Amino acid sequence: MSVSEDHIVIEERSRDIGNFMVGRLLPFRSKRSVGPFVFVDHMGPSEVGPEKYMDVNQHPHIGLSTLTYLFNGEIMHHDSIGSVKRITPGSVNWMTAGNGIVHTERTPEDLRNGQTHVVHGYQMWIALPKELEDINPSFHHVPADEIPSWITESFKFSLVAGEGYGKKSPVPVHSPLFLIDLIATKSDKLKIAGELKGEIGVNVVKGEVTLGGETLSEGNLLISKTKDLCELEVSEGTHLLVFGGEVLPEPRFIDWNFVSSSKDKVKEARIKWRNKEFDMISGDDSYVPLPKIG
């Protein structure tokens, strides 16, 4: 991590989720969230098959929404409220855990065909407002052709979730936030001030950006220390994810897959999962054990 007067830079750290490696950007020891975003994993780009497929077995969540967004590859989602949905590049899977949900993420059966393919994308966790932490779980899928997209002289934009640049995504978010997928078609300044509200994170997926004389390449997350990150120099061909929003008023506690404004609710969720008291996915007997504390 590096720190300047106006921004923080966090580098991806390798993490293993089952049999799949990811680069973790949030949470970080000195910066736990960006707006309501409390967790960001960069999946790939990784080759999948024939010896290695994505198989994330049944695991639970509370108190958050998960957002899964792919650039390449496909993942099959199953959950304990009966949702079965294939996520494809450019579409959005938005799962709200509320008082508790269980799900799996796997390579689709028809892609387990002995061929290899690339999976590349992100999964993000967005903390729910305190008054919504105990709502019933839900799931929404928004196809790629329903995501607002537009082109300027220098950039291609897609508003994956939330509001920004005078537009609104159909993804049913629960607090003021934004997630923008952006590609620079030529080198230019990206002006953010006045277009987005709240804390701002800029993740360099590919290419490089320059701010305050510092050049950052792929695998870095730039976080503004103020709400007014005015301009970035973006090189031609650079691919960015810009995300953030209004900070929730209460701190969030994160323990494994559980997020809550209440330590007691996190503790209760651990006990409930250990005792196998969550509703599970019909016809699936897989189970990710509760990790030991410490």
Mean pLDDT of the chain: 88
Burial class of 25 by CB neighbour count within 10 A (0 to 12, 13 to 18, 19+): buried
pLDDT of residue 258: 97
Cα atoms in the Cβ-side hemisphere of radius 13 Å centred on 12:
23
Q: Which amino acid is at 32?
A: R
Please give the angle made by the CA atoms of 67, 71 and 75, to the nearest 5 degrees.
Answer: 60
The rounded percent of the chain whose pLDDT value lies above 70 is 86
Question: Looking at the DSSP assignment, which residues form a beta bridge with residue 155?
Answer: 184
Please check the confidence at residue 17 and state whether its pLDDT lies above 70: no
Higher pLDDT, 97 or 18: 97
pLDDT of residue 222: 83
Spatial neighbors of 271 by CB under 8 A, at least 6 apart, are: none
Please check the confidence at residue 22 and state whether its pLDDT lies above 50: no
Please give the angle made by the CA atoms of 226, 232 and 237, to the nearest 5 degrees.
Answer: 140
pLDDT of residue 32: 66
Task: Give the other-Cβ count within 10 Å of 228's Cβ.
Answer: 12
CA distance 28 to 24: 9
Higher pLDDT, 218 or 83: 83
What are the percentages of helix, strand and coil residues in the chain, rounded to 5? 5, 50, 40
Find out whether 41 and 24 touch, Cβ atoms under 8 Å.
Answer: yes
- What the chain holds in terms of domains, given with CATH numbers, is 2-245 (2.60.120.10)
Q: Which amino acid is at 279?
A: D
Instruction: Say whether pTM exceeds 0.85.
Output: yes
Name the band, by pLDDT with cuts 50, 70 and 90, for residue 168.
very high
Name the band, by pLDDT with cuts 50, 70 and 90, for residue 7.
low
Name the band, by pLDDT with cuts 50, 70 and 90, for residue 230.
low
User: Two tokens at 246?
Assistant: 């209004």
pLDDT of residue 162: 98
pLDDT of residue 14: 46
Mean pLDDT of 100-111: 96
Higher pLDDT, 223 or 16: 223
Question: 233-258 pLDDT, tens per residue?
Answer: 999 999 999 999 999 999 999 999 99
Name the band, by pLDDT with cuts 50, 70 and 90, for residue 215.
confident
